[in-house]
Amino acid sequence: MTGAKKAVRSARKALSWLIIFLQGLHTLLFVICTFPIAWLDIKALMAPLLRYWAWVLFFLAGKRVHVKGRHHLDRSRNYLLVANHTSYYDAPGIMTVIPRVAWLGRSMLIRIPVLASFLRATHFIPVYRGDPIRSKRAIDDAIKEASQLTIAIFPEGTRTGHGGLNPFKKGFIHIMRGSNLDILPVTLNGFYRFMPRHGFVIDPRARLEIIIHPPISREALLEKTNDEIVDIVRGVIDSENRNVHA
């Protein structure tokens, strides 16, 4: 590696840590300021506040999230939002567009005392890996929330390490069958390049894009097998996935 390349890499690393520090400080202040709202469990106030928090994260990185297919989103309806998982920034990116979302995520997050109160106020639904009974309960909780909110899930279960889509887990299908929600496929592009799974170096050249696909009618899927539903939903999301070539 030449001296010039080393200098560029060092500069990028230093800039990344500065951005991450500022984002962490912003997040800490946000959690402290909104803790009374979270503790009192005033969920109605959290959606606009979360949208603001997410927007500032990208502002501090000098990035704007571009949205394609916004017209496919009917604000008067709730959906089962299914997206590819590429980066730590996936969920904040979606929140800049759709803040009223109940997220399914790892149960380990609710073991952190202050964060647990905060997550409860955001309709967070913990998923317990390796515990079928608790996992079933998480799906039942998601179905209950479906009457009030859009449910969001990353069916891969973890961030991709190569830009392409990992195999889909079938939990989202059980939520679809138990609720009245249509599936809203979403493709996230650029987030993998912005900050991939391995490492904490931000690539400022990444163009962040969220593609909202036309909803897939629940009724059109009910007669299909679980494997067929996975193939249909995964195929739609993958059709616009450009992370492999990012």
pLDDT in tens, 184-204: 999 999 999 999 888 788 998
The pLDDT assigned to 114 comes to 61
Q: For residue 229, what pLDDT is reported?
A: 97
Whole-angstrom distance, CA of residue 217 vs CA of residue 213:
12
pLDDT, tens only, 122-156? 778 887 777 667 777 777 877 777 678 899 999 99
Supply the pLDDT for residue 132.
Answer: 67
Q: 21: which residues sit within 8 A by CB, 6+ positions away? A: none
Write the CB contacts of 206 (distance below 8 Å, at least 6 apart in sequence): 63, 190, 191, 193, 194, 246
Q: Name the nearest CA neighbour of 66 among 152, 190, 164.
A: 190
pTM exceeds 0.85 for this model:
yes
The reported pLDDT for the residue numbered 185 is 98
Q: Which residues face 81 on adjacent strands? A: 152, 184
> How far separated are the first and last CA of the chain, in Å rounded?
22
Residues of the chain with pLDDT under 70: 1, 41, 43, 112-115, 117-118, 121, 131-132, 146, 245-246
- The DSSP bridge pattern shows strands 182-189 and 208-212 to be antiparallel
pLDDT value at position 212? 98
Write down the pLDDT at residue 35: 80
> What was the pLDDT predicted at 225?
96
